[in-house]
Structure 1
Amino acid sequence: MPINTMNIGKAATPAGSNKRIKGERQKLVYQSLRKEIQTLALRPGEALDETTLARKFNTSRSPVREALIKLAGDGLVVMLPNRSTLVASFDLLLLPKYLDALSLLQRSTHHLAALNRREDHLAAIKEAQSIFLSSVGEQSATAAIEANLKFHLAISEASGNPYLTHAYKRLLNEGIRMQHMHIEYLGWTPDEPGVMEHQAMIETIQARDPNAAEQLARSHAEQFDHKFIRFLSHRLSEHIQINSYADRKTADAPPK
């Protein structure tokens, strides 16, 4: 009796299984592209072709498109009317407005977190802080930046305002590329003020002190501003020694 291979295929991959596999592929594409964008492996303004990406990830275009839609929601890509997609660009002229918005949302969410937090919120915040400190100790810039985002988002979730959390998450995602630019160069140490402020934030939220939580959030945002500006203004050439041909010739000449 001949074997019906079509029936075997259907039995082996039921509809629910296909849906799960598709979801896993979309998640893999999303996470991979998100990391490449945030670490600047994919440059601002770079085109993202669905067909090319589908070949890269050995999948169909559908999971790629879904991943790009999600990345657009994070503010990391721009989907144009002609169906082309670009990595979101940096506009340095808008940087002051970005930093203002980040500070306002950080202060608002952290203030409300101190008022509205529950015990499960505190547990999530402390767990995120533990992962963050481990990443800083291991000097893993990428892991530390991601853990820092999750720490602040855990605080935002405690605010109880999903609209503020959604807007704050988008700003944090957009700012990760700026963090990679300066953290990978300047680094993060366990004893620097920006890292140590995390514990103070936890304590003020636990103590339900909204004014102190907001003040720490303001200070934290300002430190991000200053560190990024410091990176932009730092002149790497100051640490490069250049010996002219004449200097080398003088140095190599035999003593008289």
Structure 2
Amino acid sequence: MACKNGVMKISGQLRDLIEEQIATGELAPGSTLDEATLVERHGVSRTPVREALIQLSAEGLIELRPRRGAVVAAIGPARLIEMFEVMSELEAMCGRLAARRMTDKERAELVRAHQACEQARSDSDPEAYYLCNERFHFALYEGSHNGFLNEQAQSLNRRLRPYRRLQLRVRNRMNTSFAEHDAIVRAVLAGDAEAAANTLRAHVVVQGERFGDLLASLAELAPAAS
């Protein structure tokens, strides 16, 4: 049992590392993940490497292809828009429930995450802002007090991480995002469930100008994948 737990711990750490490399663009869509290379690079056996790849495949971040091994998933624009549409509705539901169910302690954590976003924005640091932004959204997922909804929101959030991260590089997006966060916080603290849902939906959905920005982000990833 101890051996099995050790393998699971290593595979989890490796999964988190590869997930982060995909999110930051270090591993671009189309990149190949070779088992032997991962074993040598990280000094582990094949078992945790295979387990990590299976987990990443289940999250939709990579594809396991016969005779080609693992490849970082490439999501087309149409599919990506569909995923953002679903994400916006999941987050709207989280916001609606959080406005009704969050405890005082959870509201305080949401405010702290919002303040951390403000500091990152003031520092003009998109990477720091992304991490604080993720903390902000996860606080809303937890605050929904719906375990299944929380799991689904976190899962889709992970799949969209590379693209949500790239969007923050668009000019003035951090300022816009922070202003939207502010409206979300005010709605949640006021217990206004519908306002919280509507502001979160508008914050996440990709349409209009954001669609063009997303296409530009995909074009930025494309050269590395070729």
Q: Give the corresponding residue for 1:133.
A: 118
Question: Structure 2: which 5+ runs fail to align?
Answer: 220-226
Higher Cα Rg: structure 1 or 2?
A: 1
Q: Residue 127 of structure 1: CA displacement?
A: 3.1
Q: Do residues 44 (structure 1) and 29 (structure 2) align? A: yes
Q: What's the TM-score, normalizing by structure 2?
A: 0.81
Q: Which amino acid is the alignment partner of residue 42 of structure 1?
A: L
| Equivalent residue for 2:191, pick from 201, 208, 214 | 208
Q: Give the corresponding residue for 1:97.
A: 82
Q: Give the corresponding residue for 2:71.
A: 86
Root-mean-square deviation (Å)? 2.9
Residues of 2 paired with 1:87 and 1:223: CA distance?
A: 23
Aligned CA distance change for structure 1 residues 150 and 62 (closer, same or farther; 3 Å): farther
Deviates more, 1:225-234 or 1:174-183: 225-234
Residues of 2 paired with 1:53 and 1:225: CA distance?
A: 40
Aligned CA distance change for structure 1 residues 71 and 144 (closer, same or farther; 3 Å): farther
Aligned CA distance change for structure 1 residues 21 and 225 (closer, same or farther; 3 Å): farther
Q: Residue 159 of structure 1: CA displacement?
A: 0.9
SS for the counterpart of 1:43 is coil
Residues of 1 paired with 2:105 and 2:68: CA distance?
A: 42
Q: What's the TM-score, normalizing by structure 1?
A: 0.72
Aligned CA distance change for structure 1 residues 73 and 131 (closer, same or farther; 3 Å): farther
- Does structure 1 retain, via aligned residues, the 8 Å contact 2:87–2:153? yes
SS for the counterpart of 2:169 is helix
Q: Give the corresponding residue for 1:196.
A: 179
User: Residue deviations 1:38-94, cap 9 Å, x none?
Assistant: 122112122212221111111222222232233234321223466932211111122
User: Residue deviations 1:166-204, cap 9 Å, x none?
Assistant: 222222222221133332353644xx2321221332222
Q: Which has the higher contact order (CA 8 A, sep 6+)?
A: 2
Q: Residue 118 of structure 1: CA displacement?
A: 1.5
Deviates more, 1:143-152 or 1:220-229: 220-229
Residues of 1 paired with 2:58 and 2:21: CA distance?
A: 16
Residues of 1 paired with 2:135 and 2:58: CA distance?
A: 17
Q: Do residues 166 (structure 1) and 151 (structure 2) align? A: yes
Runs of 4+ in structure 1 off by over 6 angstroms are: none
Q: Do residues 122 (structure 1) and 79 (structure 2) align? A: no
Q: Do residues 217 (structure 1) and 200 (structure 2) align? A: yes
SS for the counterpart of 1:85 is strand
Q: Do residues 142 (structure 1) and 127 (structure 2) align? A: yes
- Does structure 2 retain, via aligned residues, the 8 Å contact 1:139–1:188? no
Percent identity over paired residues: 26
Q: Do residues 107 (structure 1) and 92 (structure 2) align? A: yes
User: Residue deviations 1:200-236, cap 9 Å, x none?
Assistant: 32222122110110121122124786335235369x9
Q: Give the corresponding residue for 1:53.
A: 38
Q: Which amino acid is the alignment partner of residue 174 of structure 1?
A: R
- Does structure 2 retain, via aligned residues, the 8 Å contact 1:204–1:210? yes
